[in-house]
A and B are shown apart, each in its own frame.
Chain A
Amino acid sequence: MLITQLKSKETIEALAKGKTVIINCHGCKEVYFPEQEAAELQKELSVGGNVTEIITRDYICNPDNLRFQLKKFEDKIKDADTVLVFSCGVGVQTVAAFLEDKKVFACCDTCPLPGFQGVTPLEFDCGQCGECYLNSTGGICPITACSKSLVNGQCGGAKNGRCEVNKDMECGWERIYRKLEKLGRLDTLKYEAKVRDYAKPFKESKDEG
C-alpha cells in the first residue's frame, strides 16, 4: 500500500509514443490514487487517437490477477508500441515483467505511506528499527515521533513543546516524558544509554533480496 503521484504532464506526454495502451490500477484507490487527474490527463492523451485502449483494474501487483485481467486485451497490447502504467512501482514492475518485450512506462512516482499495515494510515508510524524502544518510552516511538530519531532523550532544541526541525510537530521526547510522568514511571528513563544498531532490522529480516 503506497501513495502514488502523477509524473508531470510533459514527462507522460513524452512517454506516449506510437500506439499506446494505458493501464490504471485502482486497487489502493481508497488510500491514494489521483483518479480524477489521471482520467483528465488520459483524455488529453487520447485526443490524437493513438491511445488504443484504457484499461482500469485493481491489484495489478498480483501477477496472476494481472495476467487474467489482461487476457481480454491481448491483441490490443500486442499491437501497441507503448504501455503506460498508472500505478505504484510494484504494479509497473509486475506489468513490465509480464510484458517483457514491450516498452512499459511508469506514469506515477511512488511515495511511502507512513505505517505500512493492514489498515488505512494511522497517526502512528513504525520505523521498523528491529529493536523496539517502546518499553523505555511509555509506548511512544522515539524513532518516528522525534524528528531526529534520538533514543536517549531530547535534543534540547524544542521550544514550547514544539520540535525545532518541524514546528508543526510536538517534541516526541516531551510527549514521552509527560506520558511516563502520568503513569508514574519516570524512573524508566534511567536506562543505560542505548546505541542504535542500524544493521539489526536487516539481520532479522527474512529478506534475502
Chain B
Amino acid sequence: MEDYTKFKLKRAEELIPLLADKQNIFIVACNKCFKEFETFDEPECGEFERLAKEQGKTLTGCAKVDFLCNKTTTAKRLQSVLPAETENVFVISCGLGIQTVADLVEKPVFAASDSIAYRGKHGMALTKTRCDACGQCYLNLTGGICPIVDCSKSLVNGQCGGAKNGKCEVNKNMDCGWQKIYERLEKQGLLSDFLNQPVQVRDYSKVNFKLINEYVKSVREKRFDGYYGGIHPSEHKEYSEHLSLKNFPEVKTVVIPMSQHAGAPAEPIVAVGDIVKVGQRIGEAKGFISANIHSSVSGKVIAVEPRPHATNGSVMSVVIESDGKNTPHESVKPAGDLDSMTSEQIIDLVREKGIVGMGGAGFPTSVKIKPPKPVDTVLLNGCECEPMLTADHRVMVEYADDIIYGLKALLKASGAEKGIIAIEDNKPDAVEIMQAKTANIDNIEVVVAKTKYPQGAEKMLIKRVLGRSVPSGGLPADVGAIVSNVSTVKAVSDAIKTGMPLIERVVTVTGERIKNPGNYVVKIGTPVKALVDYCGGVTSDDVTIKMGGPMMGFELKDLGVPVMKGTNGIIAIEPVAAEPSPCIKCGRCADVCPMELKPLYFTKYAGTENWQGFKDQNVMDCIECGCCQTICSSKIPIVSMIKIGKKAIREGK
C-alpha cells in the first residue's frame, strides 16, 4: 500500500535554534492520514519531545490528535488539553494542521515539521495512479494514460525523443509515459486518431480558482449547516413523492407480531379459534416500556405462534384470518373533545391504543410524552431524511389537519408550550400546506430545514432546530424537548377522534427495481410479499429488498414477514456488494459522523475485541445512521462492527 503521509519532522539543525529562546512548550502532533491505519503512536512526537528535553526545555504536555485539520474536533480537543502555563505551542503536522492550530490558539504556534509534496496523489485508495488536476483532462487522447504525470516533462504532444529502451531520460526508474501511450493506442487501433489530432496547447489558466473557491465555500457551508457532518445520498424521492395515498387491498391472512416496538414484547391475550374485531386488543403490554397490540382485521385467530420477523428472527405472533367485513370492535369510539381531556387521559389513551414511534425505532409514545423533566417544545419530525421514502411526506400533504390536532394533543399531554414542525426543503408542497394550516396558531411553527441526512435523528433535529446539544448518553428531555414523528401524531389524532388504535400505517413501496412504486395505507400484519406483488413485482432477479430506507433499513431474506408499526417503506434496489479493504485513514468517516465520533477506531477495535477502546471512543453515542459506512473508501461494514461493540458493552464486557 502506498503511503501519502504529507509531512516530516524538521531536522535537528533547524529545530534547535527555533527552540533556543522558548520555554513551557506544548506539543501537538497529528496522527497522520492517508496511510494504513494502525492504533500505535506515530514516532515523531516522541522524537521531538526527546530533542526538546535534551535542550533543557520544560514541556507542559503533548497531545496526539487525529485529523488535526478538522477544525471542529481539534478545537474541542485543544480546549480540554492545553494547560494554562503553556507559552509556546509546537505543531507536528502538514501545513493545514499547523495553520488550524495557529488559528485556534491565542499563543505563539510553531511548525516542527515540513510538508512534503505529493504531486498528483489524489486517489482515495492510496494507489500509484496519480492525477495532477490540470482541469483539462487529456486522457481521452491518450488511451487513459496521463501525459501530465506519467511523462516527467508533462508533454502533451508526444514523446521528447530522449527515452532509451523505454525508460525516461529524466528518471531512469520510470517508463517513458509516451511510449506507454503509444503502445496502448496501437493495441486499441486508435493510433491514427491520435496522430490526426491538432497540436494541444496546455492552458494553465484552465483551473478556475474562483469557481473552486466557491465550491469549497459551499461544501463547507453544507457540512456545517445545522449540525456537524452528515451526507447527501441520492434521494430518488421522485419515484413516489407525487403518488397519492391509496388503501392497500385487504389480504386474507394477517400476521401480527407481539414485538413491534422498543422494549418488552406484548403478551397475546387471544387464543386459536377466537373471533376478533378491528381495533380489538390482542396483545397486552408487558411492563413500562412496551406497547399494546390490536387486531387490524375482523375474523378468526388461526394461530398464536412464533413467526418470522423482519428484524428479530422469529417472534410470537397472532395470525388472523380475515372475514373481509372489517367489523369494528366496541372499544373503538371517539375519546371526546381534546379541550376537555386531561394530560393524564391523553397519555393513557395513547398507551391503550398501542401508539409507538412510527419513524422506525418504535419507542412507546406514552412514555415519551410523559418526560421525567419539564419540556418546553414538542418537535414534530417531518424531515423524512431517508432517501426514497415518501410515507411521511404524503401523510403531511394529505392529513395536515390530523397532524396539527395530534401535535396539540402532545403539547397538552407533555405540558410543552411550543410545537415546531420541521420539514426538509425537498418537500415544498408539504411545507406550503403546513405553513398555511398553522398560520393562525400562535404556538405552532413550521421550520424548513435544508436537506441533509440524518436530519431526522432526534439529536440532529434538536441541534438543527433549537440549537441545543443533547449531552452524551442523554435524552431530548434533558434539553427540554420531545421529538415525535408526523405519522405518530396522526395516529394519536385518530385515537382521540375515532378511537381507532394503531392498526394501519402508510408504507412507501419504491426503489429502482420495483415496477410500480406507490404509497399505501397498509394494515399491520400484511405480508411484505403482498405489497411487492401488488406493485407489479421486481424488475430483475438481481435485487435487494429492504424494510425501511436504503440507509437504515433491514435487508429482508424472507418476504413473508409482516408490515409493522414502524415499517415506513419497502424498497427494492440494486444490490451493491462490497469487499472491504484495510482502513487508509482517509478521515471521511470522522468528517461525516453527525455525533462527532471517529468511526475508524471501531473497525480496529471490533477485530481485537477491545471493548475498553469502544467505550473510550464513546461508541454508545452512535446513532447507527450509517453515514460512515456509506462514505467509507475501504468499504468496511462499520455499522455492524459498531453493533458488535455496543452489544458487548451492554452485556457488561
Name A's B-contacting residues (CB within 8 A): 1-3, 5, 7, 15, 26-32, 35, 57-59, 61-65, 68-69, 72, 88-97, 100-106, 108-132, 134-135, 138-141, 144, 179, 183, 185, 200-202, 204-209
Contact = CB atoms under 8 A, between A and B. Distances in A.
Nearest to A179: B102
B101 interface: yes
Contacts of A7: 137
B88 to A, nearest CB: 10
Interface residues of B, number: 94
18 contacts: A27-B633, A90-B130, A109-B135, A110-B131, A111-B133, A113-B216, A119-B587, A122-B96, A124-B100, A128-B117, A134-B98, A139-B103, A141-B99, A183-B108, A205-B117, A207-B117, A207-B121, A208-B171
Contacts of A102: 188
B581 A62 contact: yes
A50 B635 CA distance: 32
B111 A61 contact: no
A69 to B, nearest CB: 8
Contacts of A58: 633
A117 B111 contact: no
A47 B211 CA distance: 31
A115 B96 contact: yes
A57 B124 CA distance: 14
Interface stretch (B64-72, B304-312, B321-329): B64-72
Contacts of B101: 139
A139 B145 CA distance: 39
A118 B586 contact: yes
A69 B542 CA distance: 14
Give the interface centre of A69, A111, A114, A127 by most chain B CB atoms within 10 Å. Answer: A111
Contact of B188 (A68, A103, A128): A103
B376 interface: no
Counting from the closest, the 4 A-B pairs by CB-CB distance are A96-B144, A139-B102, A118-B587, A126-B95
A128 B110 CA distance: 16
Contacts of B99: 124, 126, 134, 139-141
Interface string B122-136: 111101111111111
A30 B144 CA distance: 25
B234 interface: yes
B79 interface: no
Interface in B209-246: 211-213, 215-216, 219-220, 223, 231-232, 234
A121 B3 CA distance: 21
A147 to B, nearest CB: 10
B585 interface: yes
B338 interface: no
Interface in B588-629: 588, 590-592
A117 B116 contact: no
Contacts of B591: 30, 118-120
Given A35-B234, A135-B111, 20 more contacts: A3-B215, A15-B140, A61-B125, A90-B129, A92-B139, A100-B187, A114-B212, A114-B213, A116-B6, A117-B69, A119-B591, A121-B216, A124-B95, A124-B103, A127-B115, A128-B117, A130-B116, A141-B99, A207-B118, A207-B119
A92 B144 contact: yes
B94 A117 contact: yes
A100 B587 CA distance: 32
Contact of B212 (A68, A94, A113, A206): A113
Contacts of A61: 123-125, 127, 129
B441 interface: no
B208 interface: yes
A201 B117 contact: yes
A165 B212 CA distance: 17
Given A96-B144, A110-B134, A115 B69 contact: yes
A88 B100 CA distance: 27
Contacts of B381: none
Contacts, number: 275
Query: Which of A135, A144, A205 has the most C-beta atoms of chain B within 10 angstroms of its own C-beta?
Result: A135
A74 B125 CA distance: 23
A2 B188 CA distance: 29
B190 interface: yes
A170 to B, nearest CB: 14
Point out which of A61, A102, A111, A117 has the most chain B C-beta atoms below 10 A from its C-beta: A117
A2 B219 CA distance: 13
Contacts of A121: 216, 219-220
Contacts of B70: 118-119
B149 A126 contact: no
A132 B115 contact: yes
Contacts of A209: 128, 130, 149-150, 171, 174
Contacts of B127: 61-63, 90, 94
B336 to A, nearest CB: 50
Contacts of A110: 131, 133-135, 137
Nearest to A55: B574
Most B C-beta atoms less than 10 A away, residue of A31, A118, A123, A124: A118
B95 A65 contact: no
A117 B33 contact: yes
B633 A62 contact: yes
B146 interface: yes
B102 A88 contact: no
Contacts of A179: 102
Contacts of A35: 234
A149 B3 CA distance: 28
Given A28-B124, A61-B127, A205-B116, A122 B71 contact: yes
Contacts of B577: 68-69
B150 to A, nearest CB: 8
Nearest to A124: B99
Contacts of B635: 59, 65
A73 to B, nearest CB: 11
Contact of A96 (B18, B145, B231): B145
Contacts of A69: 576-577
B34 interface: yes
B124 A59 contact: yes
A44 B184 CA distance: 30
A28 B103 CA distance: 27
A91 B650 CA distance: 42
B8 interface: yes
Given A30-B232, A89-B146, A130-B117, A101 B187 contact: yes
B196 interface: no
A59 B125 contact: yes
Contacts of B131: 2, 88-90, 93, 110
Contacts of A185: 108
Contacts of B588: 30, 118
B124 A128 contact: no
Nearest to A123: B220
Contacts of B3: 206
A104 B150 CA distance: 17
A130 B220 contact: no
